[in-house]
């Protein structure tokens, strides 16, 4: 596997004079980590694709996600902070492990469900919210990347809808099984408070209590993410009353 930009997360001092810079530093760190994880996932996906076109597609997606990670790092530099990342942080590692289980099973559809339906719902929704309040080019970058991630989802939706049309029961069972694995971890990440200790991505203490200082809140990011996830599942055709039960049973 190709080496990543920097997977170590040593404490990095914030050198910016802006009082909100440390908050943006952590937001960017989470986003950058997510993008690098997505890049790794697409690279892994390319390894189980048989069709050369699919291999090329997965590698192109991987490059795109690396570009997003680099863009977040660049935005950090613009405000005078170095953005760290840690794909081995506990929650992110669990998400990566869930994806790798699909890879081990050579489950292409499972991979798409994890990456495009679950992780991208989280990314699209949270980046969109950050894009609305982020200052200057930082906000623009989040908004732009949210739109690009949305296009990824659109691409995957046609494949997943076709798969569901073949056997809705089997497809929905698979989504539910992956939901229990992946969304439980995402729900813990999105909880208003990190009850399981430090997330291993924030550069010092948890950023969540400070989000209000940049017109965000953990509750808003969670709500928007779950809403996006539900809407995406609706587009797949999974009945709303079923998916409603799924999300109400997540840890909060």
Partner 1 sequence: MDNSVANVATPARTIGVDLPLSVDFALIGHQESWRAAADVLAVLRGPERTPLPDDEIKDILPWIPPRAVCHVDVGSIVRTKSGGARAGGLYIDSFIPPDRLEAAYVHENIARVRKAAACAIQAGAKIVSLGGFSSILIEGNFDQLPDRHDTVFTTGNTLTVAFIVQGIQKMCALENRNIRKSTLLIVGATGDVGSGCARCLAPLVRRVLLSARKVERLRRLAAELEANGVQVEIETDLQRFSAEADVVICAASLASPSLLLGRIASDAIVCDAGYPKNLSPTAEMLDAKVFFGGLGQITGGMKFTPDFHGILNRHPFPDVVHGCLLEGMALALEHRFEPFSQGRGFITQERVAEIETIAARHGIYLAPLYNADGPLEDGLDARWNGREDESIGRKTKTKSNSVARYFGRRENWPAYPIFAPGVNTDR
Window 116-175: residues binding partner 1 (CB under 8 A)? 168-169, 172-173
* Residue 8 lies near partner 1 (rule: CB under 8 A): no
Q: Which is nearer to partner 1, 25 or 232 (CB)?
A: 232
Q: Which of 59, 133, 144, 176 binds partner 1 (CB under 8 A)?
A: 176
Q: How many residues bind partner 1 (CB under 8 A)?
A: 29
Q: Which of 90, 93, 144, 231 binds partner 1 (CB under 8 A)?
A: 231
Distance of closest approach, residue 20 Cβ to partner 1, in angstroms = 23
* Residue 187 lies near partner 1 (rule: CB under 8 A): no
Residue with tokens 């970058």: 141
* Residue 240 lies near partner 1 (rule: CB under 8 A): yes
Distance of closest approach, residue 109 Cβ to partner 1, in angstroms = 16
How would you write the chain as a 3-class SS string?
Answer: CCCCCCCCCCCCCCCCCCCCHHHHHHHHHHHHHHHHHHHHHHHHHHCCCCCHHHHHHHHHHHHHHHHHHHHHHHHHHHCCCCCCCCCCCHHHHHHHHHHHHHHHCCCHHHHHHHHHHHHHHHHHHHHHHHHHHCCHHHHHHHHHHHHHHHHHHHHHHHHHHHHHHHCHHHHHHHHHHHHHHHHHHHHHHHCCCCCCCCCCCCCCCCCHHHHHHHCCCHHHHHHHHHHHHHHHHHHHCCCHHHHHHHHHCCCC
* Residue 47 lies near partner 1 (rule: CB under 8 A): no
* Residue 208 lies near partner 1 (rule: CB under 8 A): no
Q: Which of 73, 145, 199, 226 binds partner 1 (CB under 8 A)?
A: 226
Q: Which is nearer to partner 1, 28 or 250 (CB)?
A: 250
Q: Which is nearer to partner 1, 119 or 125 (CB)?
A: 125
Q: Which is nearer to partner 1, 89 or 238 (CB)?
A: 238
* Residue 192 lies near partner 1 (rule: CB under 8 A): yes
Q: Tokens in use for 131?
A: 């894009």
State the Cα torsion 98-118-252-214 to the nearest 10°: 120
How far, in Å, CA of 227 to CA of 162, rounded? 23
* Residue 222 lies near partner 1 (rule: CB under 8 A): yes
Distance of closest approach, residue 159 Cβ to partner 1, in angstroms = 15
Distance of closest approach, residue 222 Cβ to partner 1, in angstroms = 7
| 142 in Cβ contact with 126 (< 8 Å) | no
Distance of closest approach, residue 137 Cβ to partner 1, in angstroms = 28
Binding site for partner 1 (CB under 8 A): 168-169, 172-173, 176, 192, 219, 222-224, 226-227, 230-231, 234, 236-245, 247-249, 252
């Amino acid at each position: 596997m190709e080496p990543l930009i920097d997977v170590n997360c040593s404490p990095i001092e914030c050198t910016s004079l802006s009082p909100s810079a440390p908050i943006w530093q952590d937001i960017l760190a989470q986003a950058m980590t997510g993008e690098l994880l997505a890049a790794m996932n697409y690279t892994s996906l390319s390894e189980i694709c048989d069709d050369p076109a699919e291999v090329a597609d997965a590698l192109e997606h991987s490059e795109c996600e690396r570009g997003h990670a680099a863009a977040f790092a660049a935005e950090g530099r613009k405000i005078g902070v170095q953005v760290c990342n840690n794909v081995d942080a506990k929650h992110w590692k669990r998400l990566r492990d869930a994806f790798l289980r699909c890879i081990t099973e050579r489950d292409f559809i499972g991979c798409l469900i994890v990456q495009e339906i679950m992780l991208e719902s989280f990314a699209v929704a949270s980046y969109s919210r950050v894009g609305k309040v982020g200052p200057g080019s930082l906000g623009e970058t989040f908004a732009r990347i949210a739109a690009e991630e949305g296009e990824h989802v659109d691409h995957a939706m046609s494949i997943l809808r076709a798969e569901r049309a073949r056997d809705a029961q089997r497809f929905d069972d698979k989504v539910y099984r992956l939901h229990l694995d992946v969304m439980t971890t995402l729900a813990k990440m999105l909880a208003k408070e990190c009850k399981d200790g430090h997330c291993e991505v924030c550069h010092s203490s948890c950023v969540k209590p400070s989000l209000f200082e940049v017109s965000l809140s953990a509750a808003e990011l969670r709500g928007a993410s779950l809403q996006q996830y539900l809407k995406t599942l609706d587009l797949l055709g999974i009945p709303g009353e079923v998916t409603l039960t799924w999300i109400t049973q997540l840890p909060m």
